[in-house]
Structures are given as C-alpha cells and as structure tokens.
Copies of this chain bind each other. A is one copy, B any other.
Amino acid sequence: MQSSEPEVKKIIVKLGKRSYPIFIGNNLLNNAGLFKNYINSKQVMVVTNETIAPLYLDRIIHCLSDLVVESIILPDGEEYKTLEIMNTIITKLLQQRFSRNSCLIALGGGVVGDITGFAAACYQRGIDYIQVPTTVLAQVDSSVGGKTAVNHILGKNMIGAFHQPRAVIADISVLATLDNRELRAGLAEVIKYGLIHDKKFFTWLEQNIVRLLNREYDALCFAIDCSCRNKAEIVAKDEKESGIRALLNLGHTFGHAIETGLCYRDWLHGEAVATGMLMSADLSCRHGWITDDDIARIRKILNTAELPVKLPQGLNSERMLELMSVDKKTRNGILNLVLLKGIGNAIVTDQYDSEKLLETLMHFSAVQEVA
C-alpha cells in the first residue's frame, strides 16, 4: 500500500525544515515502504511496552527485516514514564552501538511515545524517531507535535524537550485490540478538540459518540483525521507553545494535578483530562462565560463515554491547589488556565476569580468539604 492510495490519509505538520507527515489508515504496520521513507540508517530500535509487544512488535520487525532492528520492551503504565526508564533506553542504544544517524520507533500509547521521543531528543543530543501510536489518545494527541517528556514525582511532564518526529504512522486497525477503558480515555482528547475550537466537530461527536465507542471504522477514521488536522494546525502556528498552543491544554492543568496526586497510578491520562475539562467548563460557567446548557452537553458526552467527572478520593481542593501550583503555565506565580467562552471557543487566561476556582475544586471533590 502506498501513501498515495486513497485509503491512506496524509496530513502535513508544517514546521519548515522540521515538517513531517501524519499517515492515517488501515494495516499501515505492514507497509515497509512507508516506514523506510523516514529511516536514514540501518540501525532501528523499536521501543514498546509489555502490552503491545506480544500484539504488534513482530509485525514491525518483520516489516523492516532488511534493517538491523533491535527492540526494548518497557513496563506498561504512566508511573514508568520516568528518567530512570528513559535511561534504560539510552543504555541499550549504547550497548548496541547505535550511532547518531540511527532511528527509534515508538510503538505504543502516549507513555511510550513521550519517553521514546525524549530518549531520541537526548541520545547523542538528538536522533530521529517515528511515532507509531497504538491508542486513540496517542493517535489524536501525544504522537503529534513533538512534545516529549518524562514525569517527575513533583510534576507531570516536567523533564522533556520539543523534538519533532520524522513521521507519525497511525494505523487504525490496531485500535481493534485496545481495551475499552483506553478507548474511552482517548475519546476525551478527541472531545477536547471540539471544545477548543471546532464546534461543528463537537456536534458531530455528540451524534456519533456511540459509533466511536462501538469502534466503527469510518467514524474512528473521521474523528482521528479531524483531531489530527486540528492539532497540526495549532502546532504549525506555535511549535513551542508561546501562545495559541496552550489551548491544547484544556483540562490538563486540573488533569495533571490529578495524575501527580495519584502518583501516575489508577487513572489514565485521558480520564484525568475528562474530569479536568468539566472542571474548566464549571469554572467558566461560574464566570458566566458558558451556559448551564453547555455544561450539560459536555457532561452528557463524557457520561456516555463513561469517563469520570469527579475528583478521585483523597484529592481535596487544598491538595489540588498545591499540585496545580507547579504547572508549566505558571508565570511569576500566577497560574494560567484554559477556560471556555463557549463550546468551540477556548481561551488561555489568568483573569479568573480565585474564589470561584476554589468553588469549582470543592464542587468536584469526591467527598464533600466544609468551606
């Protein structure tokens, strides 16, 4: 299958010399030609995890059989997205004498993509990598845009780099093996694009959320394509997040605080983002920027996708405020938040009422707090 055939969608992330394509289609993991256009070396290392390896690792190794393909299998989970695990990738690269021209392939979800991208950013001060996202979340969000990172015990994604991949190869067929919870978590990031600046897409999602949950190929393909186009457009305008790109963090300041508070366990990233988006909507509503009806629409689609809409046990408003204070969008002590001025119209602002923020945090606490 060639990329020029109609069934493979191609989106270019326009970043001058660092531009690269996103391919979306069926059975792309078998498409040797597609991969090889973006590999400039005989040395390739596939980084994956213990969930994905038994399913798809052999397929990629077979596909690239005329190259020297090594692999490393990481434990599965956000709690393993650490500097230590990143260092195990570096060690293997050095043991196998991988040169500055070699290429990494990130085969997995957001955790694998982020840690592999960061290893590629750092190894010998930067080598190539290709993203092969295997979850909805990674296909629509984390694999696109060159944000790489590992977590620190005190904050999510605090150690990282901007390092663009050479290509993103999103094979829709691998979503067949995705478990339901991962699918739903990924849909949270899809819904995010609608909320940020694509009201029409949000409406489509309201009408098609059940088809997505049923994994109908056409619906998934449309949603992933639409999400990637939204992301590619924003990244092209603001690669290093000095402005508009911060909109993509809708729900993430709350979400990262949840994840850090849970030590990156128990909740998936997309689940934390789901709750975070509803909290952003709630805070926006308290400022009169969106209506109760808007909130109800957002809550309904999240409920349909069975995503959490309350803070987890043990994270009260005080702890949340503390966790949020290390957010990357803080400037001179003031936390910027992504809020909504309507569905499809997100803004980044520090002009919000901190009393109302506290009200939102208390409203979402799993256990009722006394003010």
Contacts and interface: CB of A to CB of B under 8 A. Distances in A.
Interface stretch (A57-65, A96-104, A165-173, A289-297): A96-104
- Specify the main secondary structure of chain A where it touches its partner: mixed
Interface of A: 41-43, 83, 87, 90-91, 94-95, 97, 99-101, 121-126, 147, 149, 152, 154-155, 157-162, 240, 325-326, 328-333
5 contacts: A43-B332, A83-B87, A90-B159, A99-B333, A161-B161
A97 B149 contact: no
B154 A95 contact: yes
- Residue from A83, A121, A122 whose CB has the most chain B CB atoms within 10 Å: A122
Given A100-B331, A326-B94, A123 B158 contact: yes
Contacts of A101: 331-332
A85 to B, nearest CB: 12
A99 B160 contact: no
Contact of A42 (B154, B160, B328, B332): B332
B152 A99 contact: no
Contact of A152 (B90, B152, B330): B90
A332 B42 CA distance: 7
Contacts of A95: 154
A149 B161 contact: no
A99 B333 CA distance: 8
A161 B125 contact: yes
Q: How many copies does the complex hold?
A: 2
A91 B154 contact: yes
A12 B307 CA distance: 54
Contacts of A330: 97, 99-100
A99 B161 contact: no
Contact of A154 (B94, B160, B240, B328): B94
Contacts of A100: 328-331
Contacts of A123: 158-159
A306 B126 CA distance: 37
B162 A125 contact: yes
A122 B326 contact: no
A91 B332 contact: no
A124 B328 contact: yes
A148 to B, nearest CB: 8
A259 to B, nearest CB: 15
Contact of A158 (B124, B162, B331): B124
Contacts of A147: 125
A101 B334 CA distance: 12
Contact of A332 (B41, B83, B124): B41
B331 A90 contact: no
A332 B41 CA distance: 7
A94 B155 contact: yes
A152 B326 contact: no
Contacts of A94: 152, 154-155, 158, 326
B159 A332 contact: no
B332 A99 contact: yes
Given A91-B154, A152-B91, A152-B94, A331 B99 contact: yes
Contacts of A91: 152, 154
A100 B149 CA distance: 15
A160 B125 contact: yes
